[in-house]
Amino acid sequence: MSFATRVAITVVLLIPGVFAQDRSHARSMVVTRYGVVATSHVQASQAGAQILARGGSAADAAIAANAVLGVTEPMMNGMGGDLFALYWEAKTGKLYGLNASGWAPQGLTIDHLKAKTATSMPQSGIDSVTVPGAVAGWSALHERFGRLPWKDIFQAAIFYADEGYPVPELIHGFWEDSAEDLLRDSESRRVFLHNDKPPAVGEIFQNHDLAKALRLIAQQGTNSFYRGEIAQAILRTSQSLGGTISAADLAEFAPEWVEPISVTYRDWTIYELPPNGQGMAALEMLNIMQMSPASSEGPLSTTELHKKIEAMKLAYADLYRYNADPRFAKIPVKGLLSQDYAKERAKLINPHKAACDVAAGEPPASDTTYLSVVDRDGNIASLIQSNYAAFGSGITVRGMGFALQNRGALFSLDPSHPNALAPRKRPFHTIIPAFMEHGNQHIGFGIMGGPNQPLAHAQFVSNVVDYGMNIQAALEAARFTVSSRRGCNILIESRVKSETLQQLSRMGHQLEVRKEYSPAMGRGQAVLHDSQSQVNYGASDARADGSAEPEPPPLKQ
């Protein structure tokens, strides 16, 4: 046998072994018998993992990580924003839902805005601000599921606010994009800019005012935020800008425990929160998708992408027609999520052509951060928190170092619309945590990014259920998302094959191709608990600066 032949045989024999290590995703899952915290910022993940190591629950770790994210990602979230959560209790197998979204001030009415010559809801400024619900949400989670003392949970956040942290890459980019808006508010300019510029990558950013506010929360609880010193600072800020927030608006607010809604997709059960969030759109999209089998050509094939894009349009048309605060409007959730309705909507999909003008159906009556935590007992916290736009309303509470959200921007000024602005009403909300389970597998997941979220959830679920991906691969897989121009306009990542992009374009999809890992597709996290093996898994999206961090083991001294 010649030398060349022997080399060729050796190469052929080696190829299967080499290919067995090939994969389509960049990162491995974190796999551990202990807890896992997955967030979009490494220090926040570490802070949560440290809480787990001290015996904290998934709720404790989620609050600690979220508080750190309010320091390290101030444009995305913070105590001036809202919060939603799903919490799976391993011992009972029960899933709990928490809606900690704030309401409109009593004085913020359609007539009030029209008197200011507004023709649509302000997208920034004091009249876009609703009562922040995040701190009350933390308290509700801790009261029901917490193990550690309340004051201990905020120590890492206080440390990073006081001592500072080096700004990572993507957060620097988001900060830079917001610099011009921050100049419009003197307090935002003082707190978040240095010489009118955002901090550079690696620059140490400190926020002593926020450290003060966090200490008040740690020492005095929610009372400091809704009735005490922080409340007074919010009221002074609002009054100085002609806002309508009153002491009663803050003091009388309370979060609400709600029953999650669900559908069965193939043989998995997928859970979301009910309105005023947009979770029902993810579930309706999945219902429409399962009216036909998953494409054997893969998740990024022309057939599969076209089906998902068209299903998304149908679900979103219904979402924007019907979603609102259920305390004020009758929302046909049961009808929207029925199989018969999904069949009718699925019939509208032309397998060969994109629909650019999709109307809502008639169902039968009936800027954000996400984190997920699983503790060593298998309890799962799926939590999302947001200011809405970057730095929310653009207004920073005087002397407290955090921005107020602009969630009121999503109200309608049309009195006949279910989502019409009204006192003490909660607006349409984009932020949605999610949970899915099948047998022994329980997954807490979420993918942030405004209107991107329902369709990103549906793509993640399909990746896991239809194509057998693990949670890290399912997060990293190339995605598409909706464009602000709507219609047939779609954003899609360049990792989709060029021939597939060309075929979609010929079908009428108007594609804007983004880079390989675009934050426009949302930044996701996921954890999985296997209740048979008692092993936990964590995954963190490569589109963010974060990580999935395992709980350190209990080492003997």
User: Which active-site residues does the annotation give?
Assistant: 368
Q: Per residue, what are the HEC states of 115-139? A: HCCCCCCCCCCHHHCCCCCHHHHHH
Query: Which residue in 202, 211, 199 sits closest to 162, CA to CA?
Result: 211
Angle between helices 42-53 and 155-163 (to 10 degrees): 140
Query: Which residue in 263, 267, 307 sits closest to 284, CA to CA?
Result: 263
Whole-angstrom distance, CA of residue 151 vs CA of residue 323: 37
Reading the block at residue 534, the tokens are: 């008692």
Cβ(170)–Cβ(515) below 8 Å: no
Residue 230: Cβ-neighbour burial (10 angstroms; 0-12, 13-18, 19+)? buried
Give the up-direction half-sphere exposure of residue 252: CA atoms within 13 A in the CB hemisphere: 12
- Fill in the DSSP letter of residue 93: T
Q: Are β-strands 165-166 and 204-205 bridged in parallel, bridged antiparallel, or unpaired?
A: antiparallel
Whole-angstrom distance, CA of residue 48 vs CA of residue 527: 14
Helix (H) or strand (E) holding 284: helix 279-289
Residue 43's contacts (CB-CB under 8 Å, 6 or more residues apart) are 68, 72, 156, 160, 165
Beta strands (DSSP E) in 276-393 are 368-374, 380-386
